[in-house]
A and B are shown apart, each in its own frame.
Chain A
Amino acid sequence: MADYLPPGVSEEVMAEALERFRQVVGSEWVFTGDDSIPYDDPYPVTNDETLYRPHGAVAPASTEEVQGIVQVANEFGIPLWPVSRGKNFAYGGAAPVLSGSIVLDLNRMNRILEVNEDFGYALLEPGVSYYDLYNYIQERGLRLWLDVPDPGWGSVVGNALDHGVGYTPYGDHFGMQCGMEVVLGTGEAVRTGMGAMPGNNTWQLFKYGFGPYVDGMFSQSNFGIVTKMGIWLMPEPPGYRPYMITFEREEDIEQVIEILRPLKVGMVIQNAATVRNLVLDAAISETKSRYYSGDGPIPDSVARDIMADQEIGMWNFCGALYGPPPVMDTLWTVIRDSFSAVPGARFYFEEDRTRRPDILIHRAETMRGIPKLTEFGFLNWNGGGGHVGFSPVSPITGADAIRQYEMVSGRVREYGFDYMGLMAIGWRDLHHVAVIVYDRNSPDERTRIDELFKILVAEAAAEGYGEYRTHIGYMDEIAATYNWNDNALMKMHEKIKDALDPNGIVAPGKSGIWPAHLRNTDSA
C-alpha cells in the first residue's frame, strides 16, 4: 500500500510526528501501512486511487490525549480527520477528504458518563455506539428508549454531529443534543452551554447557556473535536403500535405527502416517519436476480410482481403510535381516515403481516429504538455492495415530492440503476434520501455514479434544493451551492476556521471548508 502524505509534509516530518503520537497514546494505538486499510472508504465513488486515502490513524483514550495529539499536529502541520466510530458508510466511512490525513479515531473513548432516567438524557464519549448505549440501558432496566439510525453500530455522538436521522419522535438527532465538550484546533478544551459554568448541574438540561449558542458550529464542521456530548432520550411510552400504509402507484407520492404535512406539523404523526419506495423495501430481504435477470432498472411489470410477492406497495409509509392506548386509538382514527382518501391504500399492523422477513416487522423494531444492521441488506440488491446517498431537502409538499422524485428517479434510471429512496419527514422539512446502490468493484459503475451524482447536485440546486449531508467526495460541490450573497456563509466559515484552528489541522475540506494554506489550490 502506498503511503499518502498531506501537501507540504515530508516523509521525515510525518515519521517524527507519528513517533510523537506514539508517545501520547502508546505505540499500539498508532496505525500505519496495512493496519490502516480499514480506514479507507469501503464504498468508493471514484476510480482515482489517490483520493481520500489516510496516511494512518491514531486512537486516543481521553480528552487529554486528544489535546496531546492536537498539539503535535499543530507543531508538525499534520491534518487530523476526527471520527467517532468511523462508520459513516455511504458518506465516506472513516476516510478523510484530504489524502495523507491522520484519522483521529475516537473509538477508545467509549465511556457512558451518565444516563439519567428521570430527565431522559445521556452524557457520552464519542466511541459509544447505539448498541453500547442500548445494552447499558437494558442491563439496568432503565425505562428509556433510544432513537437509532438504521445501522446500530454507529456512534451516538458521530451520527448526531453529521446531522443523522432516526425514526422515533426523537429522530432529529442533532435537535436532541444538549451540551458538549470540544477540543479546538488550538488544543484548548471548551464546554458549551451550561457546561461553561463550574459546578452547574443543568449541562444536559438546558441547551443555550448564556450568550451565543455555539453547539451547531461543531456539527458537520472542522472547527474542533467533540470529546463529550449530551443527548436526550425518550422515556419509554405507555404504549407502542407501529403501522404501515401501502400505496399502489408511483404518482401517489404527491397526494401522500400532501396528507402527511398537516398530520406531521400538527403532531398527529408523532415520529420521524418515512415513506419508502418499493425497491428499497424489497431489497431488504431479496436480491434483484430473484425477480429480474435483464440489464438496467426493473420494468414496471417486475415492480408489480415484487409488490405481490412481498405484499408491499410502490410506496410504503411506516409510522408508529406512542402513548396511552386511548390516545393511540384516537390518533390512529385520524391517520387512517386521512390516508383512506388515496385510492388503493392498505393499512397494516404487525399482526397482519405473515411473510418473513417482513418490512413492517423489521421497521417496528427500528421505530422503537432497537439497534440493528438489517438495512445493509439493500446493499446486496445487485450483489456488488456499494452505496452512496444523495439527500436533498425540500418542503413537505406534494408538488416538491413529485418533482424531486421525477428528477432523481429519472436520472438514476437513465444511468442504469434502480431508483431506491425514501422521504423522511422532519418537523417542517422533507429529506429525500435517494440511495444509489452500485457494484463497488466495477470501475465502470464507479465512473457512472460519479457522473450521475454531480448531475443530481447541479440539477437539484437549479431547482433550489440543497443536500443536508454528503459523501466526502462531493463536499466542495455541495458547499458551492450554498453561495448566497457572493458566498457570504462560506466566507464566515473560513474566518471562524482561521480563528479556532489557525494552522488548519482539523479535517481540512470537511463540508467544503478549507484552511487558509489549502484554499484555492487544486485540492480545494
Chain B
Amino acid sequence: MRAHILAILAAPIVALPAAANAQEEGAGQAAYERHCIQCHDTDDEAVGTLQLGRTRGEELALLTERSDLTGEYIAAIVRNGLNAMPGFLPSELTAAQLDALVDYLTAASAASAASRATQAD
C-alpha cells in the first residue's frame, strides 16, 4: 500500500517511462527469486550459471550481472527455453510478471547503456 502511494506521488515528478515503479521492481525480483534463482544463482550447483560459464565465459555466467542481453531476448528464452532450460508457462509466470522480470534483469543493461550514451555525447 505504502509503495503504491509513493509511486503515484513520484510519478509526475520523475516522469520516467519505466515508471520507476517500486511495486513492479519488487514483482520483477520476486519472479526472479521464484522461478530463476535456483539455476542462475552464484552457488556451485546452479545449473544455468555453470553452463553459461562454460559456454559464454565466466564473465557472462551470472544472469543478474549481464548487460549484453536485450529484454526481448530474455523474454523469448523464458517462453521458449534453451537447451536444458525448459520454457515457463503463462499461468505460472504471467505476461505482466514477465515484463517486470525482464525490467529487473535489464536494469543493469539499461544503466550501462545510459552511461555509454552519456560518454558518447
Contacts and interface: CB of A to CB of B under 8 A. Distances in A.
Contacts of A86: 89
**Max chain A C-beta neighbours (<10 A), residue from B82, B83, B85, B88:** B83
Contacts of A35: 90
A383 B83 contact: yes
Contacts of B44: 285, 356-357
Interface in A86-137: 86-87, 89, 93-94, 105, 107-108
Contact of A94 (B82, B85, B89): B89
Contact of A85 (B51, B84, B92): B92
Nearest to B78: A38
A39 B86 CA distance: 10
Nearest to B81: A42
A357 B82 CA distance: 24
B39 A373 contact: yes
A384 B90 CA distance: 25
A37 interface: yes
A285 B86 contact: no
Given A105-B91, A373-B47, A377-B47, A93 B86 contact: yes
A38 B80 contact: yes
Nearest to B93: A38
Interface residues of A, number: 43
A436 interface: no
Interface string B72-114: 0000000111111111111110100000000000000000000
A441 B88 CA distance: 19
A282 B90 CA distance: 34
Contacts of A152: 38
Contacts of A31: 90-91
A37 B80 contact: yes
A85 B91 CA distance: 9
A332 interface: no
A59 interface: yes
A107 B91 contact: yes
Q: Which interface class (under 10, 10 to 19, 20 to 34, 35 or more) fits B?
A: 20 to 34
Interface in A1-43: 28-29, 31, 34-35, 37-40, 42-43
Contact of A285 (B39, B50, B82, B85): B50
B4 interface: no
Contacts of A89: 86
Contact of A376 (B84, B90, B91, B94): B84
A358 to B, nearest CB: 9
A379 interface: yes
B87 A440 contact: no
A377 B45 contact: yes
B76 to A, nearest CB: 10
A43 B47 CA distance: 17
B64 to A, nearest CB: 17
B38 A372 contact: yes
A62 interface: no
Contacts of A373: 38-39, 47
A57 interface: yes
Contacts of B55: 383
B87 A38 contact: yes
Nearest to A375: B47
Interface in A483-506: none
A380 B89 contact: no
A39 B83 contact: no
A440 B83 contact: yes
Contacts of B92: 85, 107
Interface in A41-87: 42-43, 57, 59, 85-87
Interface string A377-391: 101100111010000
B93 to A, nearest CB: 9
A362 B45 contact: yes
B91 A380 contact: no
A385 B83 CA distance: 4
A409 interface: no
Contact of B79 (A37, A287, A356): A37
A287 B83 CA distance: 14
A138 interface: no
B47 to A, nearest CB: 5
Nearest to B89: A38
B90 A374 contact: no
Nearest to A86: B89
B79 A380 contact: no
Interface in A138-191: 152-153
Contacts of A440: 83
Contacts of B83: 379-380, 383-385, 440-441
16 contacts: A38-B79, A42-B81, A57-B90, A57-B91, A59-B90, A85-B92, A94-B89, A107-B92, A153-B38, A285-B45, A373-B47, A374-B45, A376-B47, A377-B47, A385-B85, A440-B83
Interface of B: 38-39, 44-45, 47, 50-51, 54-55, 79-92, 94
The 10 closest A-B pairs by CB, nearest first: A385-B83, A385-B84, A379-B84, A38-B87, A107-B91, A59-B91, A42-B86, A374-B45, A357-B44, A373-B38
Interface of A: 28-29, 31, 34-35, 37-40, 42-43, 57, 59, 85-87, 89, 93-94, 105, 107-108, 152-153, 284-285, 287, 356-357, 362, 372-374, 376-377, 379-380, 383-385, 387, 440-441
